[in-house]
Amino acid sequence: MIRFDILSLFPEMFVSPFDASLIKKAREKKILEINVIDIRAFAEDKHKMADDYPYGGGHGMVMKIEPVSRAIASLDPQEGDPVILLTPQGESFNHKIAVELSAYSRLILLCGHYEGVDERIREHLVTREISIGDYVLTGGEIPAMILVDSIARLVPGVLGNAGSALGDSFSEGLLEYPQYTRPAEYRGWRVPEVLLSGHHREIELWRKRESLKRTLARRPELIEAAELSDEDRKILEAIKKNDIS
């Protein structure tokens, strides 16, 4: 089981995404626990202000340290519990990080907003900063949803087939091979014969070749970082000789 505590200024954004599909089923099975905490509830002024103008002037508003600090403290984080700020300034999220985080029993996610957060939140309250890409969103709620979805599917019992996550794109550093299902032919478009052959070794080789071919064509930089076997390298050389055809 893994527990996600999500700190947000807009907790209502999480109702629908976490009440559908596999996430909903995993919550019902008690494989996942997801708690969404309203940061504004920890603001002590009568207007429940969780943001203020930045010192020194500038555009926009900045999230205040006081309500964020109280909200985190209310969760009684234990030593070793990651407290993650979702921010464009963080490290880029990827499958490797998802696997790493899926090993924890508890994750605390802080959704940034407005022009950012008081720098003291970074310095003293969070242990890690993560970005989902080089672009800016209105807040960290959607990035938090992405982290939960990506990490949750790696937790045993969330997926119906335990092997499903193992064949995903990026699980071995490469893009996934093409997938097909019934019917075997539609409008003259046929499924590759090897997949209908029942020859498991041939199917395995085809999938490996197609995975390498697709990665080389679409994300060649992944090839450099992937851990390739001798067989993989031989297949890759053959693909290159045939100009990725």
- Residues tagged active-site: 88, 115, 153, 168
Residue 222 is encoded by which pair of tokens?
A: 């992944």
Ordered DSSP codes for 164-215: GGGGSTTTTSSPPPP---S-SEETTEEPPGGGGS--HHHHHHHHHHHHHHHH
Question: Number of H helices and number of E strands within the chain?
Answer: 8, 9
What residue has token string 């995993």?
A: 26
- Return d(Cα 102, Cα 9) in angstroms, integer: 25
Separation of first and last alpha carbons in the chain: 44
**If we measure between CA atoms, which residue out of 33, 53, 44 comes closest to residue 71?**
44
Residue 118 corresponds to which tokens in the numbers above?
């008081």
